Structure 1
Amino acid sequence: MLRSALRVAVKAQLNHSANATCIASQQLHQQFWSLRSRDYSSKGSKKKGGGGSGKSSAKSPSSDTKRGKVAHQSDAKDNITTNPDNETRILEENILAELAEDEKDKSLDVGYNGRPLFTYTPSLSQLTRKDTCSYMKFDIKELNASLPEGLPSGMLKEFEASRRTALLVRQSFLDLRNNLSRIVDPPLQDDKGQKIQKRIVLDGPVNGGKSITLSLLVHWARDQGWLVFYVPEGRKWTHGGYFYKNPQTGLWDTPVQAADALQDFMKYNESKLEKIPCQISDPIPLGEGAGIGWMKGVDSITMPEGSTLYDLIQTGITNSHAAVGVIVRLRKELSLVKDIPVLIAIDQYNSWFTFSEFQEPVTVRSCRDIHARELTMVNAFRSMMHDDIMIGAFSHSTAVGKLRQDLPDVPIDARMNYPRYNVEEAAAVSHYYLRQRLVRREAFSEEGWKKVFYLSHGNGAEMRWLVPFMR
C-alpha cells in the first residue's frame, strides 16, 4: 500500500510540474510576442509622428504590406546564404570566373621545371615523346561524336573536377598507339626489341587510367579511318535484361544486350558499314525475342544477295528474334574485313571471366549461377585466339575480383600491366591542378605534391582527392 501511494503522489507531482512548465512557457511566449508588437508599433509611431510618445497608433494596411515585403526579402536572402546548394553554386561561379581571367595570363601555363603545361598538337596521331607529361585539350562535342557509345566514368570525373576538358599525355598511351600503327603500317627497318602485339589485355591497379587509355586508342583509330567495335561497359553484357537458353547451341541468349550493341556499333560506323559487303551467306538462326517468345514456323533467316554489313545490323536491330544471331554473325564478318583495319576494343573485359547475374533453376529451391562464357554474345567475342586486332581493359572498380594470370582463350603474353603515374607525371598533374585552382597557390609546394604522390602511390583519383588538402 505504501509503495502504491508513493507512486500516485510522484505521478501527481510530475504532472503538476509539467503543467506548470507548459503554462510558464506559454506565458513567456505571449510576453515575447507582445513586447515585439509594442516595439514595432512604437517604431511606427516615431516614424509617422516624429515624436517619442510611445503610444500605439493604428497600423495601415500599406505599412503591413511593406513590412511583409521587407521580411520576405530578408528571408529570401537568408535562404540564399544558408542553402548549401546555393552556396556551392555561387562558389562554383566564382571559380569559373577566376579561371576565365586566368586564361588571359599565359604565364600560368607553366608546369614542373618550367615545362609547358599544355601541348598544342592538333591530333592524337601527331603526339610525340616531347608532348608527354603535358595536357592535351579536347572539345567535348568532338569527343562525344567520336565516342558515341559513351565516355569512361574516369574521364568524366576528371573533366568535372578540373573544370576543363583536358587529359594528360602519357608515354604508355603513345607506346600502345605506336604498336597499333606498326601493325597496319610496318616500319621499313625492323626495330629490335619492338614487339608488335595484336592482342592486348590492359591490367593494373584500380584508377590507373586503363579505361581512358582504351577510349583514346579508339578515338585515334577512328580518326585514322579504322572500323572499331567498341564496348565501353562489358559488364552490361552479363547483367540485366532477358536471357533464354538456346536449345540449338546450349548457350544463353541475351537479345536486349545484342540489340544495344548493334545500335552502338552503328552510331559511328554507319557510312563504312554501307560499303562493306557480307561474305557469309549461311542462314542466321533465330532465337527468342525479348519478352515475345519464339517466332512461329521460322527458325532462321537468310540475308539477300548483295547485302552489306549495314543491312545485316539493321536486321538485328529491327528483329528481336535475330539480334543475337546477327551479332554472332557480325563477329565472324569482322574477321573477314581486309579493306580497312578493324579493332575490337572491350572495356571491363574481366567481367567476361567470372559469373554473370543470371541464374538457371536447378530444383524447386535452388539455382545455378551462369558463367559469362555460357552467354552467346560473350562466347562469340571473348576469345583472343585469332589473328584480329583486339584490346581488352580490366576494370577493378566493377568488383570482379582478382583473376588468375593465365586466362582461358587469351594468349599468355597478351596481359600487360598498365602503370600508375610516375614522379614526372605526378609533377605535371599537380601543377595542372594548381593551374585549375584545386589547391591554393600559397599552399602549393614541391614537398607538398610529392607527399600527395607517395601517399596515393600514383593513383590518379586519389591524387585528385588529396591535392586540395595541401597545406
Structure 2
Amino acid sequence: MKSSGRVIWSVSQTVGCRRIGIVGSRHLSTEPNIQKNVEVGTLQEIQMSVAKQLNMKNHLPSPMSKQMETLGELVTLIRDPMVEIASCMRVIDKKLPTLRLVLWGPFGTGKTVTLNQAVHHAYNNNWAIVHLRSAMELTRRVKEIEMSSFVSGRINDPSNAVSILQNFKQQNQHIWKLLGDLLTEKDYEWSKSERTMQGKPITEIIEMGITAPYLASDCVGALFRELRRHAKDDKLKVLVAVDDANSLWGKTLVKRADRTYASPSDLTLVVHFRRLFANDWTNGCVLMVADKKEVSDARNELRVSRYTPLELFGEEGFEYVEPFVPIETTNYSESETDKIYKYYVNKNWLASKAARSEEGRKQLMHLSAFNPYYYERLCAFN
C-alpha cells in the first residue's frame, strides 16, 4: 500500500490524472463522463443564487466572502490545481475505488478556494456533495457533547451534526428529488420511539437528524452509509470535500468525564468522516485539504515550513489516506496576477490612483511575493 502511494506522489506531480491511471491505467476509463469542464487561466463567475445554495459565504475565506458581498458577484480564477481535480473527477467510475486527492501547499496559495471551486464543479455536474468547512470544527470547536447510546465510550456532537445535515440539505437541492428516490437498505432504530423503516427515502434520515438533534450524530453516519451504498450501485456520484482534513488525526479539545482529552477516534463525527475517506466504496471522489493550522499558526513565516501531506497528516493519518493523488497549490504566476489585477481595476476594487498605475501594478505584484492571499489583501487596501 505504501509503495503505491509513493508512486502516485512522484508521477502525479508531473503528469496528473490526465495521463496516469491512478490505480492501474489499464483498468481506468479515460472517457469523460462529466460534460461541463473548466479551462485554466479563465475567470469563472459563480451565480449568486448558486453561491447562496452552496453556502459559499461561510465556506470561502472571510476576505473573499467580504469581497463577494461588496462586489455583488463571485469570480474566481481557474488555476492548474482545479483543472487537475476536474480531470480526476472525469475518470471516476463505479468499477474503481474512490479516488482520494490531497490539496497541499503554503499558506495563502488557494487551497480553500480550489476546494470550493471543486464543490461548484460537482454541483454543475449533478453530483451529491458532502462538504465540511473545516475538520477542526469537529475536534476543536465542539459546543456540546453527549455519550453515544450505540457505541460505548463514543462521544456525540449534536450541534455540529445538525449543522452537517443542514448544510448537506442546502447544498444538494439541485438533486433533492434524486435523493428522495433513493431508499434505505435497512431499518434504522434511533430510539425507542423514533425509527426510519427500510425502503424509505434517505432524505427522511436528514430530516430526522435536523428535527431531533440528540439523534443527529447517528443520522450523519446512516446518511453517509447510504450514500456510499447508492454510489456503489451507480445511482449517483459523490464528492466529499473536507477542509483542514488532517485535523481528523490531530488534537482535540473535547474532554471525557475524567477531564482527560478525548482522541479523535473517540468522536462519532470524526469516525463517520474517516469512513468516507476509506477506499472501500466506488463512484466517488474524496478531496482533502492538508493545512498547517492544525500544528502551527498558518501565518507564521519565521518557523520552518511544515505543509507536506506526510508532515501534516502524521504517520497514522497518512497511512489511512494513501494511496492518494497530491495536488500542490502554488503562488501566482505573473500572468495570473495580471488577470486578477485587471478584474480588480474593472470593478473599482483598486481605489487609489497610484494602485491603478503601471508602477502600482508592479509594486502590488512584488510586495505580495505573488502570494494570492497577500495579493488580495494589498489590493483591498489600495
TM-score of the superposed pair, with normalisation by structure 1: 0.60
Contact 2:81 2:328 in 1 (8 A): no
1:334/1:159 Cα in 2 relative to 1: closer, same or farther (>3 Å)?
A: same
Amino acid at match of 2:74: T
Query: What is the SS of the residue equivalent to 1:125?
Result: coil
Contact 2:129 2:238 in 1 (8 A): yes
Unaligned 5+ segments in structure 1 are 1-123, 187-195, 287-297
Contact 1:345 1:392 in 2 (8 A): yes
Q: 1:35-50 to 2 correspondence within 5 Å? A: none
Greater relative contact order structure (CA < 8 Å, 6+ sep)? 2
CA offset digits 1:113-168 (Å, max 9, x no partner): xxxxxxxxxxx924334xx1x42333322321244784413431443576753222
Residue in structure 1 matched with residue 236 of structure 2 by the alignment: 340
**1:185: how far off?**
10
1:443/1:320 Cα in 2 relative to 1: closer, same or farther (>3 Å)?
A: closer
The worse-fitting range, judged by mean Cα deviation, of 332-341 and 226-235 is: 226-235
Residue in structure 2 matched with residue 422 of structure 1 by the alignment: 333
CA offset digits 1:179-206 (Å, max 9, x no partner): 10222599xxxxxxxxx98111212122
Unaligned 5+ segments in structure 2 are 1-34, 298-305, 307-311
Residue in structure 2 matched with residue 392 of structure 1 by the alignment: 288
1:344/1:284 Cα in 2 relative to 1: closer, same or farther (>3 Å)?
A: farther
> Aligned partners of 1:147, 1:215: CA distance in 2, in Å?
10
- Which protein has the bigger helix share? 1
1:457/1:157 Cα in 2 relative to 1: closer, same or farther (>3 Å)?
A: farther
Q: 1:265-304 to 2 correspondence within 5 Å? A: 265-267=168-170, 268-269=172-173, 270-279=176-185, 281=186, 283-284=188-189, 286=191, 298=192, 302-304=195-197
Matched, 1:139 2:41: no
Contact 1:284 1:325 in 2 (8 A): no
User: Equivalent pairs: percent with the same residue?
Assistant: 21
Q: How many residues align?
A: 320
Residue in structure 2 matched with residue 462 of structure 1 by the alignment: 374
Query: What is the SS of the residue equivalent to 1:357?
Result: coil
Higher Cα Rg, which structure: 1
> Aligned partners of 2:75, 2:56: CA distance in 1, in Å?
18
Residue in structure 1 matched with residue 78 of structure 2 by the alignment: 169
Residue in structure 1 matched with residue 342 of structure 2 by the alignment: 431
CA offset digits 1:309-358 (Å, max 9, x no partner): 01222222233342222211222211111211111111232332212221
Amino acid at match of 2:338: A
Aligned-CA RMSD value: 3.3
Query: What is the SS of the residue equivalent to 1:356?
Result: coil
Q: 1:109-120 to 2 correspondence within 5 Å? A: none
**1:391: how far off?**
0.9
CA offset digits 1:36-93 (Å, max 9, x no partner): xxxxxxxxxxxxxxxxxxxxxxxxxxxxxxxxxxxxxxxxxxxxxxxxxxxxxxxxxx
Residue in structure 1 matched with residue 270 of structure 2 by the alignment: 378
1:246 paired residue among 148, 170, 175: 148
> Aligned partners of 1:232, 1:443: CA distance in 2, in Å?
34
2:245 paired residue among 334, 349, 352: 349
> Aligned partners of 2:264, 2:100: CA distance in 1, in Å?
20
2:167 paired residue among 249, 260, 264: 264
Contact 2:255 2:262 in 1 (8 A): yes
1:361/1:249 Cα in 2 relative to 1: closer, same or farther (>3 Å)?
A: closer
> Aligned partners of 1:208, 1:138: CA distance in 2, in Å?
20
1:135/1:445 Cα in 2 relative to 1: closer, same or farther (>3 Å)?
A: same
Contact 2:105 2:329 in 1 (8 A): yes
TM-score of the superposed pair, with normalisation by structure 2: 0.72
Query: What is the SS of the residue equivalent to 1:392?
Result: strand
**1:453: how far off?**
3.0
Amino acid at match of 2:361: W
1:377/1:432 Cα in 2 relative to 1: closer, same or farther (>3 Å)?
A: same
Residue in structure 2 matched with residue 127 of structure 1 by the alignment: 38
> Aligned partners of 2:71, 2:291: CA distance in 1, in Å?
23
